[in-house]
Every structure is written in C-alpha cells, then in structure tokens.
Amino acid sequence: MLSPNTHLQLTKVDPDRMRAAGFANERLRRKLELLYAFHYELAKVPEIVSEPMIGQIRYQWWRDAIAEIYEGRKVRVHEISTPLSTLFLDAKMPRFWVDRLIDARERDLDPTPFPDLNAAKEYCAQTSGLLMQMAVHICKADIPSNTRDFDALNMDNVLQAGKAWGLTGLARSWRFYHQSMLSALEFNALCTVTREAYEQARLAFGTLPAQIIPALSYVALTPQYLKRMSSSRHNCEDMMPSYAPPLKTLRLMKVSMTGKI
C-alpha cells in the first residue's frame, strides 16, 4: 500500500490513470496504483536531476532493483521497489517489458528532438503503450483462470490504445516541449496522428471485459482533449487543455457500463 503522501502525489501528476483505477476493486486498485507509482519514479527523473549523468545513475538504480526482483535476490528496501517484487512475481510480469519501460523513460534525459512523427509514435508506444500493457497484464493475472473471459484479448490493441494516450499527452504538453523534444513536429499534425491512433484502437476493441477496464478506460478521454485543443480559443504554446474532473468521471462511468472506449 502506498503512503498517503505518495498516493496524493500520484493523484496530482497522473490523475486520469488514478481516476480510472478507482473503478477497480480495492485489491486490484492498489496493484495498479503501485504500478503507476513505479512509472512515476521513472518519469520524474529528468525533472529532479541537474544533469543527465545523475539521471542515468538513478535509472541504473532501478535496473539493479529489477534484477534483484527477477533473480531472487534480496530486494533493496524502498517504498516502491519492495512491494513491486510481490506484484511483478505474482503476476508473472515479463521482465523484458519492465526493462524496456526503464530504457524508454531514460530517453527523456536526451534533449534531441523527435526527428518526425514516427519517432514520437514509437516513443509513446514504448512508454504509455507498454505501461498500459503491463496494467492489463496485472488485471488478467488478478482473477482465477476459470473466470477469465478475455483470453483472446489482443495485446497489440492495448499497445495501440496506450500509444494514443501517450500522443495525447505530448499534444497536451506542447507548451512545455515545443522548443525542445517536439520542436521538429507540427502541432496540428500531432493532433491528427493522435486522433488516428485513438480511432484505430477504438475500432479494434469490441466490448471490453469488465476486469481490464480500470487499466485502460482513461484513453476514452482522448476525444474531448482533442476537441479542446482544436478549438480556436486554444493557444497550444501558452495553454494546456482543461477538462473538468466531473466530466472525466462521467466519461469513465460510461466506459465502465458499456465496455466501449
């Protein structure tokens, strides 16, 4: 269980994933929140270090912690890494997913802009897409095998949905990165590929099994974010799109009831 301070921090920095996880039962919700806390530990590194070398040391710390988990060694004591051992091993989380997520987040230390939209899409697939796959995997592992109704779920579609959410995040954060990592891209083009990625994921899914909805329902917030960013009143270089929390909750409730994003 996360400390109150960590939980509060997550609700501030990752509110949409946390809001979606709130639709899970308490046991599953805590597992998803732990996964998101791990992801935040990785994502915040570039923001808290003064130079890339220090950031690389922090990422190596996490690689070493993951090695301890999967190699059966004593896991270093830490609010996140200690319970993460039980979470990953019980869920049989593929280690290469975890290693790949760390590698992808380390890319944030590199100030080199994405050369094109394809590079941005690949980055989003290996960060937000992979994180969504891990969350869905935890949901699938959380219930008895004889009650599963999503064995045929295509994890490539999950990756696509997560990629759409990652692209949404890049567009929403344009004001912060348009002179750095996004400087070679064009805002409207980024919104277009975001919409395409979301529609591809939406059409690929049928009715989602209820058990996995808390792990991916937040992608259903994408259209309203895009609508706000396409408004003539939106200045992408000075503004972030606003989306009232009650409206988000209503949208997530609809996904929960219909199983459709």
Residue 28 lies in a domain: yes
Nearest to 86 by CA among 113, 68, 104: 68
Average pLDDT over residues 36-44: 97
Q: What is the pTM of this model?
A: 0.95
Residue 217 lies in a domain: yes
Q: pLDDT tens digit string along 53-96?
A: 999 999 999 999 999 999 999 999 999 999 999 999 999 999 99
CATH number for 162: 1.10.600.10
The whole-number pLDDT of residue 41 equals 97
Residue 176's SS3 state is: helix
For residues 243-252, average pLDDT: 96
> Would residue 88 count as lying in a domain?
yes
Domain annotation covers residue 163: yes
At position 127, the amino acid (one-letter code) is T
Range of the domain at 233: 8-258
Read off the pLDDT of residues 91-125 as tens digits, 9 standing for 90 and up. 999 999 999 999 999 999 998 999 999 999 999 99
Domain assignment present for residue 187? The answer is: yes
Confirm whether 2 is domain-assigned. no
- Asked if residue 236 belongs to a domain, the reply is yes
Closest by CA to 161, choosing from 80, 220, 75, 78, is 220
Segment 193-225, tens digit of pLDDT: 999 999 999 999 888 999 999 999 999 999 999
DSSP letter for each residue of 220-253 = GGHHHHHHHHTSTT--TTT------HHHHHHHHH
In a domain, 238, yes or no: yes
Total count of domains within the chain: 1
